[in-house]
Amino acid sequence: MELVKVISLKRILTAVLIIVLNIVLFCIINNGQYSYKIYDNMLKEYNRELNEGNISDYHGYIRQYESDNPDITDNEQYIEAKTLFSEKVEFVRNYKINIENKLVNIDRYKNNAMYAQSGESRLELIKTQNDLQKAYDYDVDYSSDVWLRSMAEYKYMGYFIIVIMLIFIYGMQSDSKKMQYIVKSAPNGRMILELKRIIVLLILSIAVVLLSYTAITMTSLFVYNDWSSIHGMSGSDSEIYLVSMGMSRVGLVLTVAFKTVAVTFAMSVFLYALINLFDNKNIGLSFSVIIVGIELLLAKLISAKSIFRGIKYINISNLVDNTIWFKYENWGYTYFISDVQESTVLVGLIIILLSTMMAFACSLKKTQRKAGVIERLLGKISLQFNRIFSNFPVFMKELWKILIKRRMLIVYCLMIVIVSSYTFAYKLKYNMVESTVYTFCQNNSALSESELYSLEEELIQEYQLMQAEKDNNAQMVILNHEINLVHYVNEKHDDGVNVSLINQYEYNKLFDERQRDNKELLMCICLITACLLNVGVISFEKDENVLALVRTGRNRKRWIIRKLLINAVVNTVMCAGVYCYYYHSVTKVLDIQRYDILIQSIQAFADYPFNISVRGYIIVNIVTAILGINIFASIATYLSAKINYRVGVLACLSINVLYYIYKIGVNVLHYYTFPGIVTYIDFYGGISVLQICIIVGVVLAGVILNSKVVKLF
């Protein structure tokens, strides 16, 4: 009966929607992994050629691949894919030799005076030695491991699962105190009821985790088309072979899923017990979020070498981190050593025991009792806050309604977690050519126009001399790059455009295809968040039965205009914050120091219509995103007058459905999506009449829709 009570149609549909969002986010992240797709194709082709006996040396295969695809040899994604491919082949070919070498090195370290005495370092060496010996006989192969690697790197699975479980947990306790009294007074309304609910949580944990893992596994296999490799040895991946336990890939995924069931059940019982501590489940939920938030903060702040590292590994937040099941990481102190997986499972079992005891203890408390210390304290704080809040300006009251009453604060917190944990860029890796060209640009960046013309002539003469001697091909490639850079600057100077000689590599990374994909993802997130905010402008008031009262007011038009302006301010702050964090994160990783460089100094922006600085371009990009977000959010504002709040929320979550389909692989839909449209009007290749028409049309549509909303009052 408890299971039927918890599993309502609304909660099931909400859980399905969250799983769909989980799949969509996975597709969005992995659709941008072009290097993985190239690596996957190379590995499959090499494996096929190897089985047919057509090739034995992978270096020869790479040369043949580059000969067949000459356009991709300088592509950054291909270079990364080639590195992955080479590492994979070397790992499989020299698997046993490498393990033997590692075991020899461990024996050498163990005999070293530094590791001779018992301690954490020696224990870690012994544990690693034992794990390597277990992995020695694994039958590794060249089958593709991309789909499993993408799952191992996807770190949002646990968060989606816990959100679904929290929805079910929240529905277990009645809002009505009278109903709670009736339930508690029944013969089985206390400990037996708690036991039944804990069993329900176990059933739900199994169902939610298995559905989520099945959905992501099937999606990953579909994205990379790796169905034939599911039974391959999971230890064939150099990243996870020490945690693979000699299983097939599908076997490892099933094992990880059942481990996740255990820790999800532990987390669910823990949250249920915390919420049950309070008569008001909203207070319990808030308290639970604070506890978990503190745990997450501690896990991030404490170093793996700190004396308090036990808190980092014996941590509730690890229960929602699904990536730990694919990591080989040991920790310990002087007299014991453990890996993260073992300690997480142990923490989960302890939490299940303690939380179950807490839930039973809470079931025995009196139904009519004095409020607890925390509840009395919160009651006094709430009373004082309401007195002060009554004197707040309208803006602050409306902000309170948006963040607290409509629970937008939860949406913003979720957005912050996703954006802050996402990796937007990686540190630059220079090869010999790029490093030499970088030094060349640094040494000649201060030259005048006449000196640059002379430099180009000198470089051309040197190149022609080398070409005649047919010697030093590597140096000729470098010279060719240098000539192109200087020629571009001189050509721009001839056109009267002020540009500088800069290292194109680092600035191209700031605006390359990967970053455009990242900005599209940010636009998608901001659009959903802004529409969720604006869809409640009128529909939320309507659902709260106060709209008729508002329409009788004398200043109703001023009221709705003020609401629209407040929502626009909130959207602006949200969007600006996300984009500022994004650019700060990327420029810090890429180590870009100069923002005063004029944008047309970057060859990718040769046709950009305005020769502003890089800083100016970033500001224009942020302002464009803010305007786009607010204009498209006005559609949600207009819809809020026509539909109820819940339907509006569902419509907002599905507003980017074309973008989701495009990310799955239907590329033709790219420029019909909101992020695609904003990318199109980014003026990378110059400015066109169509772009101007789109800008003017969208702005007019936003103004018209908002004016229609005002006229309704």
Tally of CB atoms within 10 A around 101:
11
Helix (H/G/I), strand (E/B), else coil: 197: helix
**Which of 612, 565, 408, 426 has its CA nearest to residue 509?**
426
Mean pLDDT of 280-306: 70
Phi then psi for 306, rounded to 5 degrees?
Answer: -70, 155
Q: Is residue 640 pLDDT above 80, yes or no?
A: no
CA angle 101, 105, 106 (to 5 degrees): 115
Helix (H/G/I), strand (E/B), else coil: 565: helix
- What pLDDT is recorded for position 678? 67
Q: Is residue 194 pLDDT above 70, yes or no?
A: yes
- Which helix (DSSP H) or strand (DSSP E) does residue 521 occupy? helix 513-534
d(Cα 478, Cα 238) in Å, to the nearest integer? 34
Listed in sequence order, the DSSP H helices in 141-280 are 146-153, 157-170, 177-185, 191-224, 249-276
pTM for this entry: 0.71
Find the range with the poorest average confidence among 159-168, 561-570, 670-679.
670-679
Phi then psi for 336, rounded to 5 degrees?
Answer: -155, 155
Half-sphere exposure of 212 (CA within 13 A, CB side): 33
Helix (H/G/I), strand (E/B), else coil: 330: strand
- What pLDDT is recorded for position 9? 78
- Which is more confidently placed, 474 or 233? 233
**Which of 238, 217, 252 has its CA nearest to residue 325?**
252
d(Cα 596, Cα 331) in Å, to the nearest integer? 46
Phi then psi for 140, rounded to 5 degrees?
Answer: -80, 155
d(Cα 128, Cα 136) in Å, to the nearest integer? 12
Q: Is residue 580 pLDDT above 80, yes or no?
A: yes
The chain-wide mean pLDDT, for the chain, equals: 75
Q: Is residue 372 pLDDT above 60, yes or no?
A: no
Residue 73's pLDDT band (cuts 50, 70, 90): low
- What pLDDT is recorded for position 693? 66
Q: Is residue 66 pLDDT above 80, yes or no?
A: no
Q: By the 8 A CB rule, do 155 and 161 touch?
A: no
- Which helix (DSSP H) or strand (DSSP E) does residue 517 occupy? helix 513-534
Helix (H/G/I), strand (E/B), else coil: 497: coil
First-to-last CA distance in the chain? 48
Q: Tell me the CA distances in angstroms from 559 to 504, 538, 644, 710, one per residue in order.
A: 52, 11, 20, 9
Highest mean pLDDT among 278-287, 291-300, 703-712: 291-300
Handedness of CA 223, 226, 231, 237 (dihedral sign): negative
d(Cα 143, Cα 160) in Å, to the nearest integer? 30
- Going by the DSSP 8-state scheme, the letter that residue 69 receives in this structure is -
- What pLDDT is recorded for position 181? 54
- 437's CB contacts (< 8 A; 6+ apart) are 478, 481, 482, 485, 503, 505
Residue 553's pLDDT band (cuts 50, 70, 90): low
d(Cα 274, Cα 294) in Å, to the nearest integer? 15
Q: Is residue 422 pLDDT above 80, yes or no?
A: no
Q: By the 8 A CB rule, do 549 and 713 touch?
A: no
d(Cα 475, Cα 105) in Å, to the nearest integer? 40
d(Cα 469, Cα 665) in Å, to the nearest integer? 49
Q: Please report, as a single letter, which amino acid is at residue 485.
A: L
- 272, with CB counted inside 10 A (0-12, 13-18, 19+), is buried
d(Cα 559, Cα 551) in Å, to the nearest integer? 10
Helix (H/G/I), strand (E/B), else coil: 613: strand
Find the range with the poorest average confidence among 98-112, 291-305, 487-501, 585-599.
291-305
- Which is more confidently placed, 431 or 80? 80
- Which is more confidently placed, 30 or 344? 344
Mean pLDDT of 525-551: 70
Pairing relationship of beta strands 336-339 and 330-333 according to DSSP bridges? antiparallel
Q: Which two tokens stand for residue 617?
A: 């371009």
User: What residue segments make up the domains of the chain, in order of their start?
Assistant: 1-13+145-365, 32-132, 432-504, 512-712
Q: Is residue 333 pLDDT above 80, yes or no?
A: no
Secondary structure string (H, E, C) spanning 225-258: CCHHHCCCEHHHCCCCHHHCCCCEHHHHHHHHHH
Helix (H/G/I), strand (E/B), else coil: 202: helix
Find the range with the poorest average confidence among 160-164, 425-429, 487-491, 507-511.
425-429
d(Cα 382, Cα 257) in Å, to the nearest integer? 43
Q: Is residue 286 pLDDT above 60, yes or no?
A: yes
- What pLDDT is recorded for position 115? 60
Give me the residue label for tokens 């001399």.
Answer: 465
- Going by the DSSP 8-state scheme, the letter that residue 401 receives in this structure is I
Find the range with the poorest average confidence among 55-64, 559-568, 590-599.
55-64
Find the range with the poorest average confidence among 19-23, 156-160, 269-273, 299-303.
299-303
Q: Is residue 411 pLDDT above 70, yes or no?
A: yes
Q: By the 8 A CB rule, do 593 and 559 touch?
A: no
- What pLDDT is recorded for position 647? 73
- What pLDDT is recorded for position 368? 52
- Going by the DSSP 8-state scheme, the letter that residue 672 receives in this structure is G
As a whole-number percent, the residues of the chain with pLDDT over 90 amount to: 0
Mean pLDDT of 644-667: 69
Mean pLDDT of 14-28: 82
Q: Is residue 454 pLDDT above 60, yes or no?
A: yes
Long-range CB contacts (within 8 A, 24+) of 88-96: 88/39, 88/43, 88/142, 88/145, 88/238, 89/46, 89/58, 89/142, 91/140, 91/236, 91/238, 92/140, 92/141, 92/142, 92/236, 95/138, 95/140, 96/136
- What pLDDT is recorded for position 280? 65
Tally of CB atoms within 10 A around 206:
16
**E-state strands within 262-354:** 330-333, 336-339
Residues paired with 613 in a beta bridge:
598
Mean pLDDT of 508-531: 80
Residue 38's pLDDT band (cuts 50, 70, 90): confident
Mean pLDDT of 464-479: 70
**115-138 confidence digits (pLDDT tens):** 656 666 777 777 878 888 888 888
Radius of gyration of the chain (CA): 30
